[in-house]
Structure formats: C-alpha cells, structure tokens
C-alpha cells in the first residue's frame, strides 16, 4: 500500500526547500487508492514509487512527485485549484481531498471521459473536468488559488499565470520534450509580477495541445 512508501524529503531538501510533507497531504495520498487509476496489468506495481503508463502516451506520476507538487501548492480547505492535464484523475483525487473545488482540463477526450467516470465511481464530487486546451487553462472559473500542470511546457504558460490570484502559486514542469526539464514553482506577487525558481530536475510527458494549434 501507499503508506509503505517512504517520502525521503531529506534527500531532496537542498533542491526543493521542503523538509517534510504535511500530514494532510500524506493522508490524502494514503486515502486515495492508486490501483484504481492504473490498468489491471499494472496493479502489482500500483504502489511502487515510480510512474506508470496511463494510455494515449501519458503517464501517472510517481507518488513522491505527486506529493511534492501538491505540497508546493500549499492547498487549503477553501481553495479552488486548476489542474492542467487530468490524465487518469489520480492527482485530481488527491487535490479533491484537500481543497473545496478542483477544475481540471484535459486535451484527450477519452482520458477526460474515463477520469470523470472513475472519480464519480469513487465518490469524488468536487472535481469538474473539461475537455479543452490545457495551455489556455479554464478562464471561466478563474482566478485560482493555485495551478498544477502535470505535463511539461517549453516555457511557463503565461495564459495560466494570468489566471492565478495575486499571492497564489503554480507548479509546472518546464523544458524540452524528452530533454532536461525542471519542476518550476511560479508565484504571483500581490502586484501581479512573476517570480519563479527551479525545484527539482524532472521528466514529464509533453504538454499536448489540439492538432489545430
């Protein structure tokens, strides 16, 4: 089970600036059945601390990265978060246990539909999924208390930054597809200016956009 995974934050503290994962995030991780979000053939590996295939060329991130990205958002019970890249719905389900509302966007229709059915079956009722271009976010529900991007963008997506509340954070992998990528923590100051820092080297699938783009 997931509670057997040791989140060795001390080993990455110099990079991440995080010495521990909060109990609330750990409880959300432990209470979310990761095996429900992977294909039956991957059930024996469902609680291993590494990514797994999710279909359509996508992956479900390793638990440590999910926990770290969630922690970096500083989620609070009254928050509304935007997730870019619904995928299997696993990260959505984690966030749903920590915040009031999750707005999630997914460019692959089949993944969006599958995740919606799964979350409904698990009784997760505070996640709304939209099939659209994640790079553009979902301005209809903006501004957000935080934004998490679960695929790699070539640069920080400014349309998403514009949908953050002042003082809010965005966590996004940035870099070339299949090249050197960095997990970036982006913060929007009260005056609307952008600041960012690299948290950790990572490897994510590319942020996919519609073929017409």
Predicted confidence at residue 195, as pLDDT, reads 96
Predicted confidence at residue 14, as pLDDT, reads 52
3-state secondary structure 132-173: CCHHHCCHHHCCEEEEEECCEECCCCHHHHCCEEEEEEEEEE
Predicted confidence at residue 82, as pLDDT, reads 98
Task: Report the candidate in 174, 93, 85 with the shortest Cα–Cα distance to residue 137.
Answer: 85
Q: How many CB atoms lie within 10 A of CB 208?
A: 18
The pTM is what? 0.90
> Quick check: is 12 catalytic?
no
- Residue 77 CA to residue 94 CA, distance in Å, equals 13
DSSP-derived secondary structure letter, 179: S
**Based on C-alpha coordinates, what's the Rg of the chain?**
16
CATH classification of 2-202, choosing from 3.30.450.40, 3.30.390.30, 3.40.50.150, 2.102.10.10? 3.40.50.150
40 contacts: CB under 8 Å, gap ≥ 6? none
Predicted confidence at residue 4, as pLDDT, reads 45
Per-residue pLDDT of the chain (213 residues; tens, 9 = 90+): 554 444 555 455 555 556 578 999 999 999 999 999 998 998 988 888 888 888 888 888 899 999 999 999 999 999 999 999 999 999 999 999 999 999 999 999 999 999 999 999 999 999 999 999 999 999 999 999 999 999 999 999 999 999 999 999 999 999 998 889 999 999 999 999 999 999 999 999 999 888 644
Peptide bond into 116 cis (omega under 30): no
Give the residue ranges of DSSP H helices in the chain: 9-16, 23-30, 63-72, 90-96, 109-121, 158-161
Task: Report the candidate in 209, 206, 166, 213 with the shortest Cα–Cα distance to residue 186.
Answer: 166
Catalytic site residue from 19, 61, 193, 195: 61
């Amino acid at each position: 089970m997931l509670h057997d995974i040791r989140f060795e934050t001390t080993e990455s503290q110099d990079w991440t600036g995080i010495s521990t994962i909060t109990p609330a995030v750990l409880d959300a991780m432990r209470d979310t059945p990761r095996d429900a979000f992977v294909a039956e053939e991957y059930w024996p590996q469902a609680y291993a601390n590494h990514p797994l295939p999710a279909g359509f060329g996508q992956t479900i991130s390793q638990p440590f990265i999910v926990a770290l990205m969630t922690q970096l958002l500083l989620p609070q019970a009254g928050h509304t978060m935007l997730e870019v890249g619904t995928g299997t719905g696993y990260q959505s389900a984690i966030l749903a246990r920590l915040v009031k509302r999750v707005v999630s966007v997914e460019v692959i229709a089949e993944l969006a539909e599958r995740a919606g059915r799964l979350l409904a079956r698990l009784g997760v009722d505070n996640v709304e999924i939209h099939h659209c271009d994640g790079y553009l976010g979902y301005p209809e529900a903006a501004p957000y208390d935080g934004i998490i991007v679960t695929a790699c963008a070539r640069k920080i997506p400014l349309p998403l930054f514009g949908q953050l509340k002042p003082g809010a954070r965005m966590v996004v992998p940035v870099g070339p597809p299949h090249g050197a990528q960095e997990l970036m923590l982006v913060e929007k100051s009260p005056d609307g200016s952008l600041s960012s820092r690299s948290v950790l080297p990572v490897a994510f699938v590319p942020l996919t956009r519609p073929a017409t783009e």
